[in-house]
Amino acid sequence: MRFFVHFLTILILAYVAGMVLPWWSVALVAFLVTLLMPLSPGRSFFSAFMGVFVLWLVLAFYADVRNDHLLANRMSEMILKVRSAPLIGVISAVIGGLVAGFAASSAAFLRAVKKPA
């Protein structure tokens, strides 16, 4: 249950932060949420990764559909040398998920170090 609450909190706060802050605000959100709602480092990584991955994948799909796949197709041709709009969305979602996951696991490790012996 805590895993799902952690996941949902990161997803919602990352969306809100993304409205007014730069793209890397997902790292701040994942770090702060994990400090306030502690999980093990592995579970916090996976929860934050999945939260931001799902968020960015949905946002990429929504933007892609709104412009009839023009931008994503051109970007995938330029960067990947393949015309694949979904692939560029998945790659960007993986990058965002990794950023959030590493931030969350950093916070989990920081909490583990602060515990008295």
Instruction: Tell me what the mean pLDDT of segment 76-84 comes to.
Output: 88
Higher pLDDT, 80 or 19: 19
Contacts of 26 (CB under 8 A, 6+ apart): 10, 14, 17, 18, 52, 96, 99, 100, 103
- pLDDT-based confidence at residue 117 (cuts at 50, 70, 90): low
**Closest by Cα among 62, 64, 44, 56 to 95:** 56
Residue type, 67: N
Tell me the per-residue pLDDT of 6-17, one tens digit each, with 9 for 90 and over: 999 999 999 999
pTM for the structure as a whole? 0.89
What was the pLDDT predicted at 80?
87
Tell me the per-residue pLDDT of 91-113, one tens digit each, with 9 for 90 and over: 999 999 999 999 999 999 998 77
**Closest by Cα among 49, 45, 47, 56 to 92:** 56
Instruction: Tell me what the mean pLDDT of segment 60-85 comes to.
Output: 89
What was the pLDDT predicted at 17?
96
How many Å apart are CA 79 and CA 70, to the nearest integer?
14
